[in-house]
Structure 1
Amino acid sequence: MNATVMSTEATGAEVTGAEVMSERSTASAVTTAERVRREGRVRAVVSRGIRGLSARDVEGRWHGLDVDVSRAVAAAVLGDADAVTWLPTDPAGRLERLAAGEADLVTCNLSWTLGRETGGPVLFAGVTCYDGEGFLVRTADGRTDPAELAGKRLAVQAGTTSAANLAAWYGARGLSVEPVAHPTPGEALAAYAAGDCAAYVLDRIALAGARAELADPSAHSLLETTISREPMALAVRDDDTGWFRICRWVFQFLLAAEHAAHGAEDARAAALAAEEAARTADALGPALGLDDGWAGRVLRAVGTYGDIYERNLGPASGLGVPRGLNALWLDGGLHYAIPAH
């Protein structure tokens, strides 16, 4: 990214380096929430297009788990889940846009790492999806183990942890591969589909969406092996603790609402339990910098975390990605809702 002039994709406007510095320097005077309310939009960095996480439909509308997390924030702060300016961005530029003041949050299949949180003005507000790096291969090649890809060219996305994960996994076994980096998910998938690379390496959930985009998904398989830990998380700048707290608790409410509904006898009972969780969270809105109806709006706009997962990644989505680690702890997963009181 140019250090002096940065383009804003959604509007075509340009932001100068001086203007960015000015915005950063006045962060203590004007909070992110105040600016969002003044402009009536939440600016969210998303991917260039990964089905199930963040991708446009044929009518140009954004859908996916990451998208719904952003919409939940907009519903809480602005009362309108659709009041989001989407900023599709290459992996290498995700945190740059956030740090530069072009975006308010990043929900872009971004893994939470120590290096990322200490390498820039970034805080991670919560793990939205637990995942791990995997391999998409052609079924006809008969490969069942990543070791069988040693010496091969593997498609990856630039700006991700894929190349480092590959080096660590293969290096520990005295093997090596040739990662071939591409700037966008579409280009990486195209290189694999064209036969330029023996596999496409990415987070397994993202690979499920990529596989569904191929001409004949049945001709491609995901290897069972996972070679890394990829806690994909919601990221914000570290200069506004109030905004960080809002984003963290909006996401936590999504988990809390599903937790409240867990084990309900039927759909009606589950809905009533989720609504009760919303009323509890609503009462704490003013202390959070929100009004006393924020959680109810979030629930009506996107549902619980379970609803979001089912809609975007579950059987109803056509992807059928099992909840696995993304289930509540009550069902053996890693998601644990922090109590409201």
Structure 2
Amino acid sequence: MSAVTIAPAVNEAAPGTSAGRTLEAVRRRGVLRAAVSRGIRGLSLQGPDGWTGLDTDVARAVAAAALGDAEAVQWLPSAPADRLEALSAGDAELTVCNLTWTVRREAQWPVLFAGVTCYDGEGFLVRTDSGIDDPAQLAGRRVAVQDGTTSAANLAAWYGRRGLAVEPVAFPTPADTLAGYASGECAAYVLDRVALAGERAALPDPQAHRILDTAISREPMAAAVRDDDADWYRLCRWVLQLLTAAEHHVDEAGEGRREEALAQAASLAGPHGPAVGLDEGWAARVLAAVGTYADIYERNLGAASGLGVPRGLNELWTRGGLYYPVPLQ
């Protein structure tokens, strides 16, 4: 993604530090196991050239830091209900699967959320010619949801407060849910609005469908790890912070000094790698592999992706968004 110099990966922890059980296991295996969705364009989708999406690029960033190879990832497509099961059972080291960070999930599962990957909200995909401009107009109608998600609960809460109700129809997979909506069986498809942009693009005539402006919930999608390894948690959290901090460095320096700004970010973050069993070249590897958060977003959800999802809340705080990265030193 950039001309940042890539330092060779170190496969042993620095003297006096602990790589952590998870990092050691990942290195013995030679791959990072990442739970992803079963197919949502823009987030995690398998195509002829492999897996693409914002979530998959986050997993690649972690693999670049831990293994020195961004492609050393074993993808584990997971149903919404199984996203944390794979992690807690030890079948995955990372879940990046359009999973919303909630207190209930951290309280009920032995997991911790390492950081937000995309701020979103539950929304509605409807037919353009339906005349529907507001979710309230769907009262009494059938709406398609993915089984195992929080969509039905969000619908009940939003409509219940208004003395209204809809009939959620749960489908087992994203493809089945989209088909249930496209067939006319349901008047709307309910999902996180970023994910709906990818689903809309998969329809034969995307322009015949629109995503309503209203979001009925807060959905900070986040990367999750098990709660039994503080070093691995810190490693994944640092990787996420690096992506937005590096964007801030480029933003301050200007695109004309992009490479200098990336090198500065890598030089500030790199020396802290040995604290979690990494070498000092980890940050340079991450930025060379996937770029900054802005690069990841643009590639997978922005204009370059064909989806054209505005950054909105996913901008840096200096541009009205919610990303305020911690300092790298």
1:1-341 maps to which residues of 2 (within 5 A)?
31-59=21-49, 61-265=50-254, 267-341=255-329
Q: CA RMSD in A?
A: 1.3
How many residues align? The count is 312
Q: What is the percent sequence identity of the aligned residues?
A: 67
After superposition, the Cα gap between the structure-2 partners of 1:153 and 1:56, relative to the gap in structure 1 and judged at 3 Å, is: same
Paired residues of 1:37 and 1:78 also in contact (CA < 8 A): yes
Structure 1 segments, 4+ long, off by >4 Å, are none
Bigger shift: residues 75-84 or 135-144: 135-144
The higher-RCO structure (CA 8 Å, 6+ apart) is 2
TM-score by length of 1: 0.90
| Other structure's SS at 1:262 match | helix
Paired residues of 2:232 and 2:276 also in contact (CA < 8 A): no
Paired residues of 1:134 and 1:204 also in contact (CA < 8 A): yes
| Other structure's SS at 2:210 match | strand
Please tell me the residue identity of whatever aligns with 1:54: S
Please tell me the residue identity of whatever aligns with 1:254: L
| Alpha-carbon distance between aligned partners in 2 of 1:268 and 1:184, rounded to the nearest angstrom | 44
| Alpha-carbon distance between aligned partners in 2 of 1:181 and 1:116, rounded to the nearest angstrom | 21
Paired residues of 2:20 and 2:277 also in contact (CA < 8 A): no
| Other structure's SS at 1:56 match | strand
- Deviation track 1:104-146 (CA, whole Å, cap 9, x = no partner) reads 0100000000100101101000001000000000111111011
| Alpha-carbon distance between aligned partners in 1 of 2:285 and 2:294, rounded to the nearest angstrom | 17
The runs of 5 or more residues in structure 2 that have no matched partner are 1-17
Q: How far is the alpha carbon of 1:30 from its aligned partner?
A: 6.8
- Deviation track 1:14-56 (CA, whole Å, cap 9, x = no partner) reads xxxxxxxxxxxxxx99700000001110000000100000001
| Alpha-carbon distance between aligned partners in 1 of 2:151 and 2:96, rounded to the nearest angstrom | 18
| Other structure's SS at 2:252 match | coil
The runs of 5 or more residues in structure 1 that have no matched partner are 1-27
TM-score by length of 2: 0.93
